[in-house]
A = this chain, B = another copy of it.
Amino acid sequence: MNTDLTRQIRKLNQAHAYTTIHLHEAVGRKAGLPGTDHKYLGFLLQKGPMTAGELSALSGLTTGAVTGLIDRFEKKHLVKRQFDKTDRRKVIIAPNTQKIMALLEPLYKEYRRQSEQLIASFSAQELHIIEMYLSKSIDIMNETMHTLNDK
């Protein structure tokens, strides 16, 4: 095992996280989404429809803040409030994926093109290694979050 290489990867991973957040921030701003709305829109895109309460738990926002958040999204037709047939207290927030994509895709278009090019530059065998790294990284991050939320 190469310790220098290990450290370097750790640093790179940190820089990667930082840059991811920075880009996400910049795109949100460019899309005219106030504050951190891009972040929560991402939650909805990633997880799909969920109730207001689930979004509250997921985002860490109070239910009151989530009400306002949905109002802002709904005004822009980015999500729709739907009512649960079996439990009429619940409000299901359904992302309007098309509308959201129409907003964000132009901003990510060039990024996506270059990402695909990068991916294409690796062999299938290499991609499997990258796949392993990414998926296990995700697992670790998710586990960290669970631990954080527990204590």
Give complex CA distance A145, B18 in Å.
Answer: 13
Give complex CA distance A112, B86 in Å.
Answer: 43
Q: Which residues of B contact A39 (CB under 8 A)?
A: 21, 25
Q: Which residues of B contact A22 (CB under 8 A)?
A: 43, 58, 141, 145
A148 at the interface (CB under 8 A from B): yes
Q: Which residues of B contact A112 (CB under 8 A)?
A: 10
A101 at the interface (CB under 8 A from B): no
**Residues 103-122 of chain A: 1 if any B CB is under 8 Å from the residue's CB, otherwise 0?**
00001101110111011101
The oligomer's copy count stands at 2
Give complex CA distance A29, B117 in Å.
Answer: 36
Contacting residue for A137 out of B30, B115, B135, CB 8 A = B115
- State whether A140 touches B118 (Cβ < 8 A): yes
Q: In this complex, what residue of B is CB-closest to A125?
A: B129
A76 at the interface (CB under 8 A from B): no
Residues 57-90 (chain A) with a chain B CB within 8 angstroms: 58-60
Q: Which residues of B contact A133 (CB under 8 A)?
A: 118, 122, 130, 133
Residues 29-46 (chain A) with a chain B CB within 8 angstroms: 29-30, 35-36, 39, 42-43, 46
A positions within 8 Å CB-CB of B: 1-2, 5-6, 8-10, 12-27, 29-30, 35-36, 39, 42-43, 46, 58-60, 107-108, 110-112, 114-116, 118-120, 122, 124, 126-131, 133-138, 140-145, 147-149
